[in-house]
Amino acid sequence: MDFSLSEEHLAVKEAARDFAQHELLPGIIERDDHQLFPSDQVKMMGELGFMGMMVDPQYNGSGMDTISYVIALEEISKIDAAAAVIMSVNNSLVCWGLEEYGSEDIKNNYLKKLASGESLGAFCLSEPEAGSDATAIKTKALDQGDHFLLNGVKNWITNGGTASVYLVIAQSNPEKGYKGINAFVVEKQWEGVQIGPKENKLGIRSSDTHSIMFHDVKIPKANLIGQEGSGFKIAMNILNGGRIGIAAQALGIAAGAYELSLRYSTERKAFGKPISEHQAIQFKLADMATAIEASRLMCYHAAYRKDQNLSFAKESAMAKLLSSQTAMDVTAEAIQIHGGYGYVKEYHVERMLRDAKITQIYEGTSEIQRLVIAREILKSM
């Protein structure tokens, strides 16, 4: 067992940290306040190879492993969790899905642009009445002979307004239940695609979240991903991988809040000494550091198993469950360590607490992660 990071991993860490400090930190409070999408920064992430990190270089990706992806997301999330989710959706929910299940034409027509950052992707599964229970989706893509006809509404779509390519999960044969579900590539510019208003969110405010309406959208047959009827399985597998990204996002939020708290605790004085010399504060720092280290190991382990082509559904769910709880606990303690200063925007930790909450909700709530973990544990009995 080797816990050391390779030269390549260390280089990714340094590049992501440098980018986050110099390009994401400036203007972050304003972007959060006004829900401003970080367009310039997303373009730069494409140029740095962060938008298609695990994609094969033949499709314009960086050809890196999942551990590199976790490392980059942690560093970016330490500063800007909204930029991290934009990156994470493009990498793990769209690029990975297209590379794993898409035809050669789909890879050439869509994946190449998504992996290089030339275009941005969104993953459209959730609906107004179907979130945790994805089998209940009502959006229909009915077979019309030479095309599928798409009708329905998708909800809470990250990158919804900025993406030009959507990976859409829709029902083609309701009588077959989840075995009637298909996955498609849909372009935003096609007739009948309509973007709903931007959601006004608690956290990750500079990422754009929209509902998307489809009215009689014609999808060419060639834009079906994978075998007919395999859309539900594809979506669930994509989410298994995606959870590693969200776990890394949560880890980064926690680690960012911890780093700020550690520094602050050595600078702020109370009762004649830095607060870091009060044992109550030391215990907080110790608990934060321990939970972060445990979360990081679980993220790396899930990523390692994915890279080794071993099963990773249980490990990615565990990593997300633990890291998202760590993000909530650590950011709340970070505010406590900062006292009154933690409660205002200039010190960043209040934003981190708001950003942390979503990691317990999207790509499967914490309750759903427990269901996944329990199912995997019982499978092995």
Told to check if 124 binds ligand FAD by CB under 6 A, we report: yes
Give the binding-site size for ligand FAD (rule: CB under 6 A). 21
Residue 118 CB, shortest distance to ligand FAD, in Å, is: 20
**What pairing do the DSSP bridges indicate for beta strands 165-171 and 121-124?**
parallel
From 44, 125, 163, 257, residue interacting with ligand FAD (rule: CB under 6 A): 125
Q: Is 75 a catalytic residue?
A: no
Q: Which of 185, 182, 189 is nearest to 219 (CA)?
A: 185
- Distance from C-alpha of 249 to C-alpha of 77, rounded to nearest angstrom: 5
Kindly indicate which of the ranges 110-118, 126-134, 189-197, 266-274 contains the residues binding ligand FAD, using the contact rule CB under 6 A: 126-134
Told to check if 181 binds ligand FAD by CB under 6 A, we report: no
Amino acid at residue number 171: Q
Q: Which of 104, 350, 363, 367 is catalytic?
A: 363
Told to check if 209 binds ligand FAD by CB under 6 A, we report: yes
- Distance from C-alpha of 377 to C-alpha of 87, rounded to nearest angstrom: 31
Q: Write phi, then psi, for 54 (nearest 5 degrees).
A: -100, 0
Told to check if 132 binds ligand FAD by CB under 6 A, we report: yes
Told to check if 266 binds ligand FAD by CB under 6 A, we report: no
Q: Which residues contact 348 (CB under 8 A, 6 or more apart)?
A: 28, 29, 256, 257, 260
**C-alpha pair distances (Å), 325 with each of 36, 69, 291, 330, 377:** 27, 21, 9, 8, 21
Residue 193 or residue 289: which is nearer to ligand FAD going by CB? 193
* The two structure tokens encoding residue 224: 């079906």
- Distance from C-alpha of 276 to C-alpha of 74, rounded to nearest angstrom: 25
Kindly indicate which of the ranges 5-13, 35-43, 117-125, 214-222 contains the residues binding ligand FAD, using the contact rule CB under 6 A: 117-125
Kindly indicate which of the ranges 113-121, 150-158, 217-225, 252-260 contains the residues binding ligand FAD, using the contact rule CB under 6 A: 150-158
Residue 274 CB, shortest distance to ligand FAD, in Å, is: 38
- Binding residues (CB under 6 A) for ligand FAD: these are 89, 122-126, 131-132, 156-158, 201, 209, 358, 361-365, 367-368
Active site residues: 363
